């Protein structure tokens, strides 16, 4: 048993996460249409992993991966609403048990099947961003103001915005706040270069190009809204006695379409949904504000990094996640992710495999898309029909089989109805293995 | 109802019935790739600046809203607002009362108590000293606590010297540069009530509790007639845009009472004035 003095040497951890944030929606990353002074400060103080991806681009699966260190097809939450495997420990429990941490939670949790109060000391609940994010920031600030425990803290601030973009619908298909457009017309951001008209039948098929611009404009305001709350909390920490001894992790559970490829929301493997912002600010901060575009990162690297800084073992059976700490601290790493795999089991299901240059999207019902992300970062030219594209897809199929050998697929029991959400990946992965 | 409006309405209703919610543009005729200019024709509404954006987040609540008509918002007043949350939309917006706000304005002192319903509740009390004709902030305190959790309470004291706002607590000091007059969100009420913003848009930085929301513009955008309990009400509409907020509408009656404030998922309805 460590003494109280030794325990106080342990690092505190502040995990700030946001919901549905596009990986480029930050002024520090060159976006001229949104101003994010707080996130920019974090990027300046820390290490930005610019090639960072979520384990599964939907809320519950992505969050379950953060907190269990396991991939979406492992932890029992392939899509929103599926219950997490009860036998898996989560970071709250793990750090309390192995690092004597005071695991504290405020805000959005959204890991179905597990009561957050079972794993954390909950100081504030969740709600829509505009309604709750200010209160979440204030609860966390109050916590920092009054914390005098000998134990290190693992404080989680789960902000909701910019997820409020999911509630923009005007009644009966009206315009909502978008009708304000004439007053802000000169401020409307341009459409992304890879914008395309959405597939007919989608609810957004009626949008004009200008409507899309309104959507992007308002989305950025929600990003700024949460940035203001993050700024309050981050500044409170950095001006407090905990500044020198606290790791700060900033991440988003998934992105948002934001008009890229004519998409909104999430759940697919194109960059706009799969790729996410990730910043690690080590205790004492970094003077460089490094932005790393080379090293690939996946959502389960977050718990690996937190365990590393907390000086506790990795969560059980974490076979994919790697600690980002050596990179953050400028140390040599012998091996890094040669490729990453992301999964989405919504609808037809799709698997993304990305290496340093290429990405392949395998759709579970057969089709494949291949993109050269170095030459074509906006994924506008599908190479799957070319010889080169076929070679990439074959290589990535091999990676996918390697990946399957490393993970432990969750095969829940129960009624057929209950198993339905899991069949997408179980069927597809059976096929992948059979071909091998 | 003209034929165009009838067809639009029935088409949208049919889509909604099928589970599709065309968020936007069911009726606008802008051509792809071309921005509609200020004088562009928008179909379906007489006042493109205020309808339906100003009330869209609270259409489900409005039929039960009774405009307050006792006193005015000049000089000393006590205003009570209900927080009207918007949780989505169907035929109308889906609303529920999820909190309250009390604003007491007296002798250039603006005191507020805001309660947001959640488990547990966060209660925020502020006291803002204002000065000048625009009620610019000079000093303030913020007291935040979470019901039943004494360990989360903190108090901040802030000042603004015309260029920099400084916020201090026991543990931290935060400084922010400003580029416009700093005005508290709720100190806007008397300005709106006075009509002074009607003639000329107001450019300001907004103090929202102790959060700085910079580069705001508040402008008068016209009159709007809205459905309320038992009939209709004509209200002047002011619209605010700027950093870190969704377009915010203030609906003010002829006597200067700010009856409704709409944002998006959070909106405010005046429930009492004393």
Question: Tens digits of per-residue pLDDT, B148-200?
Answer: 999 999 999 999 999 999 999 999 999 999 999 999 999 999 999 999 999 99
A217-221, A287-291, B3-7, B69-73: segment of lowest average pLDDT: B3-7
- Picking from B23, B37, B49, the nearest residue to A173 by CB comes out as B23
Is the pLDDT higher at A264 or at B208?
A: B208
- According to the model, what pLDDT value does residue A101 have? 98
Contact B265 A206 (CB under 8 A): no
Question: What is each CA distance from A299 to A293, B68, B78, in whole angstroms?
Answer: 16, 51, 50
- According to the model, what pLDDT value does residue B202 have? 97
Strands of B132-230, DSSP E = 136-146, 149-160, 164-168, 173-177, 182-184, 202-208, 211-228
- Picking from A183, A205, A229, the nearest residue to B239 by CB comes out as A183
- According to the model, what pLDDT value does residue B45 have? 37
- Taking the C-alpha atoms of residue B31 and residue B45, their distance in angstroms, rounded to an integer, is 18
Domain assignment of residue B27, yes or no: no
User: Residue B191 sits in which domain range?
Assistant: 3-18+38-273
The answer to whether residue B13 neighbours chain A at the CB level (below 8 Å) is yes
- Taking the C-alpha atoms of residue B178 and residue B160, their distance in angstroms, rounded to an integer, is 9
Question: Tens digits of per-residue pLDDT, B245-263?
Answer: 999 999 999 999 999 999 9
| Cα four-point dihedral sign A290, A296, A301, A304 | negative
- Picking from B37, B56, B146, the nearest residue to A177 by CB comes out as B56
Domains and CATH numbers, chain A: 4-337 (3.40.720.10), 340-435 (3.30.1120.10)
Q: What pTM was computed for the model? A: 0.91
Q: Is the per-residue pLDDT at A320 higher than 50?
A: yes
Residue with the two structure tokens 């919504």:
A346
- According to the model, what pLDDT value does residue B258 have? 98
- Taking the C-alpha atoms of residue A384 and residue B249, their distance in angstroms, rounded to an integer, is 50
- According to the model, what pLDDT value does residue A224 have? 98
Q: How many CB atoms lie within 10 A of CB A362?
A: 23
Q: What angle do CA B210, A188, A28 make, to 5 degrees?
A: 55
Report how many domains make up chain B.
1
Domain assignment of residue B168, yes or no: yes
- According to the model, what pLDDT value does residue A215 have? 87
- Taking the C-alpha atoms of residue A91 and residue A157, their distance in angstroms, rounded to an integer, is 14
| Cα four-point dihedral sign A298, A93, A64, A37 | negative
The answer to whether residue B14 neighbours chain A at the CB level (below 8 Å) is no
Q: What is the DSSP letter of A162?
A: T
Beta-strand relationship, B248-252 and B258-262: antiparallel
- Taking the C-alpha atoms of residue B45 and residue B51, their distance in angstroms, rounded to an integer, is 7
Q: How close B247 comes to chain A (CA, Å)?
A: 7
Domain assignment of residue B91, yes or no: yes
Domain assignment of residue B82, yes or no: yes
Which two structure tokens, joined as six digits, stand for A409? 């697929």
Q: Is the per-residue pLDDT at B92 higher than 90?
A: no
Which two structure tokens, joined as six digits, stand for B124? 């925020």
- Taking the C-alpha atoms of residue B24 and residue B12, their distance in angstroms, rounded to an integer, is 11
Cβ–Cβ under 8 Å, residues A380 and A333: no
- According to the model, what pLDDT value does residue A337 have? 98
Cβ–Cβ under 8 Å, residues A246 and A10: no
The answer to whether residue B245 neighbours chain A at the CB level (below 8 Å) is yes
- Taking the C-alpha atoms of residue A350 and residue A354, their distance in angstroms, rounded to an integer, is 13
Beta-strand relationship, A246-252 and A12-18: parallel
- According to the model, what pLDDT value does residue B145 have? 93
| Chain A nearest-CA residue for B170 | A145
- Taking the C-alpha atoms of residue B235 and residue B251, their distance in angstroms, rounded to an integer, is 6
| Chain B nearest-CA residue for A191 | B33
Phi then psi for residue A148, to 5 deg, are -130, 25
Angle between helices A91-99 and A301-310 (to 10 degrees): 20
Q: What is the DSSP letter of B19?
A: T
- Taking the C-alpha atoms of residue B13 and residue A174, their distance in angstroms, rounded to an integer, is 11
Is the pLDDT higher at A323 or at B107?
A: A323
Contact B151 A142 (CB under 8 A): yes
Contact B86 A174 (CB under 8 A): no
Q: Is the per-residue pLDDT at B7 higher than 70?
A: no
pLDDT band at A23 (very low <50, low <70, confident <90, very high): very high
Question: Tens digits of per-residue pLDDT, A25-80?
Answer: 999 999 999 999 999 999 999 999 999 999 999 999 999 999 999 999 999 999 99
Question: Tens digits of per-residue pLDDT, A234-245?
Answer: 999 999 999 999
Percentage of chain B exceeding pLDDT 70: 81
Which two structure tokens, joined as six digits, stand for B171? 């543990």
Q: Which residues of B touch A126 (CB under 8 A)?
A: 118
Question: Tens digits of per-residue pLDDT, B64-84?
Answer: 999 999 889 988 999 999 999
Which two structure tokens, joined as six digits, stand for A161? 């915005």
Q: How close A157 comes to chain B (CA, Å)?
A: 14
The answer to whether residue B165 neighbours chain A at the CB level (below 8 Å) is no
Is the pLDDT higher at A361 or at B121?
A: A361
- According to the model, what pLDDT value does residue B91 have? 75
Nearest C-alpha neighbor of A310 from the set A91, A27, A146, A71? A91
- Taking the C-alpha atoms of residue B9 and residue B7, their distance in angstroms, rounded to an integer, is 5
- Taking the C-alpha atoms of residue A379 and residue A215, their distance in angstroms, rounded to an integer, is 22
In the stretch 80-139 of chain B, residues with CB closer than 8 A to chain A read 83, 85-93, 98-99, 116, 118-120, 122, 124
Which phi-psi region, left, alpha or beta, contains residue A234 (left: φ > 0; alpha: ψ -120 to 50)?
A: alpha
In angstroms, what is the C-alpha Rg of chain B? 20
Q: Is the per-residue pLDDT at B85 higher than 50?
A: yes
- According to the model, what pLDDT value does residue A214 have? 85
Contact B23 A203 (CB under 8 A): yes
Domain assignment of residue B220, yes or no: yes
- Picking from A139, A197, A228, the nearest residue to B244 by CB comes out as A228
Report the 3 state secondary structure along A337-357. Answer: CCEEEEEECCCCCEEEEEECC
- Taking the C-alpha atoms of residue B101 and residue A273, their distance in angstroms, rounded to an integer, is 37
- According to the model, what pLDDT value does residue A179 have? 66
Cβ–Cβ under 8 Å, residues A429 and A86: no
- According to the model, what pLDDT value does residue A175 have? 62
- According to the model, what pLDDT value does residue B226 have? 93
Cβ–Cβ under 8 Å, residues B210 and A235: no
The answer to whether residue B247 neighbours chain A at the CB level (below 8 Å) is yes
Report, as an integer, the average pLDDT of A352-362: 98
Q: Which residues of B touch A179 (CB under 8 A)?
A: 45, 48, 51-53, 56
- The set of residues, in sequence order, having a beta carbon less than 8 Å from that of A225 and lying 6+ positions away, is A129, A130, A133, A161, A162, A164, B244, B245, B246
The answer to whether residue A433 neighbours chain B at the CB level (below 8 Å) is no
The answer to whether residue B263 neighbours chain A at the CB level (below 8 Å) is yes
Alpha helix (H) residue ranges in A69-115 = 91-99
Question: Tens digits of per-residue pLDDT, A168-221?
Answer: 655 445 566 766 777 788 889 999 999 988 776 666 777 788 888 888 999 999
Contact B171 A204 (CB under 8 A): no
Contact A142 B172 (CB under 8 A): no
- Picking from B9, B89, B247, the nearest residue to A169 by CB comes out as B89
- The set of residues, in sequence order, having a beta carbon less than 8 Å from that of A51 and lying 6+ positions away, is A275, A292, A293, A294, A295, A296, A297
Domain assignment of residue B24, yes or no: no
The answer to whether residue B30 neighbours chain A at the CB level (below 8 Å) is yes
Interface probe for B, chosen from A133, A171, A185, A209 (most Cβ of B below 10 Å), is A171
Question: Tens digits of per-residue pLDDT, A375-391?
Answer: 999 999 999 999 999 99
- According to the model, what pLDDT value does residue A297 have? 98
Q: What is the DSSP letter of A427?
A: H
A392 by DSSP, 3-state: which?
helix
Task: Establish, for the pair of chains A and B, how many residue pairs have beta carbons separated by less than 8 Å.
Answer: 259
- Taking the C-alpha atoms of residue B211 and residue A136, their distance in angstroms, rounded to an integer, is 14
- According to the model, what pLDDT value does residue B206 have? 98
pLDDT band at A1 (very low <50, low <70, confident <90, very high): very low
Domain assignment of residue B28, yes or no: no
User: Hey, which residues does B251 pair with through a beta bridge?
Assistant: B237, B260
pLDDT band at A321 (very low <50, low <70, confident <90, very high): very high
ipTM metric: 0.91
Q: Is the per-residue pLDDT at B2 higher than 50?
A: no
Q: How close A44 comes to chain B (CA, Å)?
A: 17
Q: How close B168 comes to chain A (CA, Å)?
A: 10
Domain assignment of residue B23, yes or no: no
- Taking the C-alpha atoms of residue B66 and residue B230, their distance in angstroms, rounded to an integer, is 8
- According to the model, what pLDDT value does residue B51 have? 57
B178 by DSSP, 3-state: which?
coil
- According to the model, what pLDDT value does residue B22 have? 32
Q: Which residues of A touch B35 (CB under 8 A)?
A: 185, 188, 210, 213
The answer to whether residue B149 neighbours chain A at the CB level (below 8 Å) is yes
Cβ–Cβ under 8 Å, residues A266 and A57: yes
Question: Tens digits of per-residue pLDDT, A302-311?
Answer: 999 999 999 9
């Amino acid at each position: 048993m460590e003494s109280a003095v030794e325990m106080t040497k342990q690092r505190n951890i502040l995990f700030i996460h946001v919901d549905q944030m596009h990986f480029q929606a930050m002024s520090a990353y060159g976006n001229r249409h949104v101003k994010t002074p707080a996130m920019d400060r974090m990027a300046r103080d820390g290490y930005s992993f610019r090639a960072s991806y979520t384990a599964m681009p939907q809320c519950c699966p992505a969050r379950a991966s953060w907190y269990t260190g396991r991939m979406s097809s492992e932890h029992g939450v392939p899509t929103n609403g599926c219950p997490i495997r009860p036998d898996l420990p989560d970071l709250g429990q793990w750090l309390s048990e192995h690092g004597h941490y005071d695991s504290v939670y405020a805000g959005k949790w959204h890991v179905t099947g597990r009561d957050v109060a079972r794993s954390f000391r909950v100081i504030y609940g969740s709600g829509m961003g505009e309604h709750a994010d200010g209160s979440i920031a204030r609860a966390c600030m109050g916590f920092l103001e009054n914390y005098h425990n000998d134990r290190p803290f693992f404080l989680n601030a789960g902000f909701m915005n910019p997820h409020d973009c999911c509630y923009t619908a005007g009644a009966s298909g009206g315009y909502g706040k978008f009708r304000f457009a004439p007053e802000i017309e000169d401020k409307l951001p341009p459409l992304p270069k890879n914008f395309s008209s959405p597939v007919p039948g989608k609810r957004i098929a009626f949008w004009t190009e200008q409507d899309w611009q309104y959507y992007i404009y308002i989305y950025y305001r929600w990003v700024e809204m949460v940035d203001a709350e993050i700024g309050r909390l981050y500044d409170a920490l950095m001006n407090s006695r905990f500044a020198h001894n606290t790791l700060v992790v900033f991440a988003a559970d998934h992105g948002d379409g934001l008009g890229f490829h004519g998409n909104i929301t999430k759940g697919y493997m194109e960059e706009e949904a799969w790729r996410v912002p990730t910043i690690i600010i080590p205790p004492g901060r970094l003077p460089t504000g490094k932005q790393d575009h080379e090293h690939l990162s996946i959502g389960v690297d977050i718990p690996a990094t937190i365990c590393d800084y907390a000086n506790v073992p990795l969560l059980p059976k974490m076979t994919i996640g790697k600690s980002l700490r050596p990179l953050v601290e400028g140390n040599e790493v012998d091996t890094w992710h040669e490729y990453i795999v992301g999964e989405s089991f919504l609808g037809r299901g799709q698997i993304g495999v990305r290496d340093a240059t290429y990405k392949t999207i395998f759709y579970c019902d057969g089709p494949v898309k291949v993109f050269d992300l170095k030459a074509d970062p906006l994924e506008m030219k599908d190479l799957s029909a070319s010889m080169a594209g076929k070679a990439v897809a074959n290589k990535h199929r091999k990676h996918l089989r390697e990946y399957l050998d490393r993970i432990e697929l969750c095969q829940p029991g129960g009624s057929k109805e209950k198993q339905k959400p899991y069949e997408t990946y179980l069927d597809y992965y059976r096929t992948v293995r059979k071909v091998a | 109802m003209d034929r165009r409006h009838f067809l639009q309405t029935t088409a949208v209703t049919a889509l909604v019935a099928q589970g599709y919610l065309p968020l936007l543009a069911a009726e606008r005729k802008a051509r792809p790739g071309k921005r509609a200019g200020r004088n562009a024709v928008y179909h379906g509404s007489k006042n493109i600046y205020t309808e339906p954006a100003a009330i869209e987040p609270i259409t489900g609540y409005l039929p039960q809203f009774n405009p307050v008509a006792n006193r005015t918002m000049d000089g000393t007043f006590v205003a009570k607002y209900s927080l009207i949350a918007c949780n989505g939309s169907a035929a109308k917006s889906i609303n529920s009362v999820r909190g309250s706000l009390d604003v007491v304005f007296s002798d250039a002192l603006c005191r507020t108590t805001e309660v947001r319903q959640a488990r547990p509740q966060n209660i925020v009390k502020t006291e803002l000293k204002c000065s000048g004709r625009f009620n610019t902030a000079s000093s303030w305190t913020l007291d935040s606590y979470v019901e039943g959790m004494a360990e989360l309470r903190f108090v901040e004291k802030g000042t603004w010297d015309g260029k920099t706002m400084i916020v201090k607590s026991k543990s931290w000091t935060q400084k922010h540069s400003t580029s416009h007059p700093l005005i508290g969100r709720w100190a806007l009420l008397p300005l709106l009530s006075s009509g002074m913003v009607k003639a000329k848009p107001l450019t300001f930085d907004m103090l929202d509790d102790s959060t700085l929301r910079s580069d705001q513009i508040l402008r008068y955008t016209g009159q709007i007639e809205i459905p309320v309990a038992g009939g209709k009400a004509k209200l002047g509409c002011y619209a605010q845009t700027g950093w870190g907020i969704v377009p915010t509408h203030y609906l003010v009656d002829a006597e200067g009472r700010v009856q409704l404030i709409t944002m998006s998922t959070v909106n405010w309805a005046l429930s009492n004035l004393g």
